Amino acid sequence: MGPTDVQDKNLVEIERLLPGGFGLAHAEGLTLFVALAAPGDILRVKIERKRGSVGFASIIEVVKPSTVRVEPPCPYFGLCGGCDFQQLDYEAQLAAKVEIIRDCLHRIARIETLPDIVMVPSPAQWQYRSRANWQFDPKAKRLGYFARGSHDVCDVEVCAVLRPELQQTLERLREQMREGTLSKKLTDIEAVAGDEDVSLASATTHFRSKEVSRHIGNETYYFGAEAFFQINHELLELLLGEAVGEEHGKTAIDLYSGVGLFTLPLARRFNQVTAVEANSRAVDYAQRNLDAAELDNVEIANMSVAEWLKHWLGFERPEFLLLDPPRSGAEGGVIEGILKVAPQKICYVSCDPATLARDLNKLLEGGYSLDSIVGFDMFPQTHHVETVARLSHSEF
């Protein structure tokens, strides 16, 4: 059955999933983006809003479910703004993420011939998340996540993707909320789990954020809730292996280096490493991790990546440069700065295929070639995916 076979004007067939996780359909002369759909679904939808020839729609009824559609196990699915792929079986989730990466690289980076895209599945599809950001509404006594499409708080008692230690922390905070002992100054709570404890922080009031640690491969990392650390710890050893690989030599640069996730393995393979990170708390943890690992061949620059690149005075090309920017990708001037540094090889670690593709386009125009693309399913039950792209310069 194709879109033209559907007689009811509110009935559509989902053709495929797009970057952002929406299902693609066509109706009433519009290209429709349908939330929480599965490829192959026949749906009755409601068009919520239009923008030119594009419409955004929600599902009223699943008339004929796709063969890859499953019943979402979470009672908050569709209300909570977190997971948006629970309606897909796991193989379909992985396939959709490969297509999302491929779509972005074709459409935004304008790469015609791509290397095979390998997708590494998560060892745990549920209870994998070691980091969470909870929202608190003291007046309504709600604690959970933002509701889908709004800044209202969706009250959540049990989150199916949280690791058990974070679920227990959520339950303790909810008990404090019910007793009235949770500070009414709070609006958000960052929580991160280590091997043996949980660290909490908030932007609006003071939590005594404790240090936690996590063993990843042969390394030990110390961090807290106020500094970023990846959420799916069971995949990190594989991610490190792909990003750093067998690279070695004299000099390496680690941009957006955080608490030193990639810095430590780079320092074991290169004579000299420069790490650049704007968050001063993350820099403190990075130095703590280097000291604990007895590594003294790293210089940490506590400044924005764009500013550091603007003043880079290296006299020879580094052999390797790794960047792991936030979801928004590299800020203005960074890719141009990297092209000025001209490393022999680049590894770009990204949590957003669209901004990755935007930045890759500039690197490819600057003389680099794309050698490999590997996806890591760091975020099961969502459309998000971690991607590792490796590039080399044509002159080497």
Q: Convert the pLDDT of each residue in 217-269 to its tens digit.
A: 999 999 999 999 999 999 999 999 999 999 999 999 999 999 999 999 999 99
Both 155 and 239 in one domain: the answer is no
Residues in the chain: 396
CA 205-209-215 angle, to 5 degrees, is 150
What would the pLDDT profile of 174-225 be if each residue is shown by its tens digit? 999 999 999 988 899 999 999 999 999 998 776 668 999 999 999 999 999 9
Kindly state whether residues 284 and 369 are assigned to the same domain.
Answer: yes
Say if 219 falls within a structural domain.
no
340-346: average pLDDT: 96
- 3-state SS assignment for residue 90: helix
| 365 belongs to a structural domain | yes
pLDDT of residue 394: 72
| Residue 9 forms part of a structural domain | yes
For residues 254 and 293, membership in a common domain is answered with: yes
Residues of the chain with pLDDT > 70, as a percent, come to 96
Q: Residue 199: what pLDDT?
A: 95
Do residues 238 and 319 both lie within one domain?
A: yes
Instruction: Specify whether 262 is located in the same domain as 119.
Output: yes
Q: Say what the pLDDT of residue 314 is.
A: 73
CATH of the domain at 158: 2.40.50.1070
Residue the block writes with tokens 């590039």: 391
CA 294 from centroid of its chain's CA atoms: 30
pTM: 0.94
Cα separation, 307 vs 286, in Å, equals: 20
351 in catalytic set: yes
The answer to whether 62 touches 78, Cβ cutoff 8 Å, is no
User: Sorting pLDDT into bands at 50, 70 and 90, what band is 280?
Assistant: very high
- Following DSSP, what letter does each residue of 14-81 receive, concatenated? --EE-TTSPEEEEETTEEEEETT--TT-EEEEEEEEEETTEEEEEEEEEEE--TTB-----TTBTTBS
Residues 380 and 362 in one domain: yes
Question: How far is Cα 371 from Cα 160, in angstroms, rounded to an integer?
Answer: 37
| pLDDT greater than 90 at residue 289 | yes
Q: So what's the pLDDT on residue 383?
A: 97
What pLDDT was estimated at residue 302? 97
Residue 191's identity, in one-letter code, is A
Residue 318 in any domain: the answer is yes
- Asked if 30 and 112 sit in the same domain, the reply is no
Residues spanned by the domain of 363: 91-124+231-393
| 81 is a domain residue | no
182 backbone dihedrals φ, ψ, rounded to 5°: -80, 125
Q: 386 and 237, same structural domain?
A: yes
Q: Give me the pLDDT at residue 3, please.
A: 43
Q: What is the CATH number of the domain that holds 370?
A: 3.40.50.150
Is residue 136 domain-shared with residue 112, that is, in the same domain? no
User: Given a cut of 80, is residue 281 above it in pLDDT?
Assistant: yes
Domain assignment present for 340: yes
Work out the pLDDT band at 396, boundaries 50, 70, 90.
Answer: low
Pair (182, 324) in one structural domain: no
Domain boundary among 161, 187, 213: 213
Q: Please tell me the total count of domains within the chain.
A: 3
**Residue 369, CA atoms < 13 Å, CB-side half-sphere:** 7
Distance CA 93, CA 230 (A): 20
Q: Is residue 86 part of a domain?
A: no
**Residue tagged active-site, from 74, 83, 159, 351:** 351
Indicate if 360 and 313 belong to the same structural domain: yes
* Residue 342: inside a domain: yes
pLDDT the model gives residue 395: 73
Question: Per-residue pLDDT averaged across 371-388, rounded?
Answer: 98
pLDDT for 44 beyond 80? yes
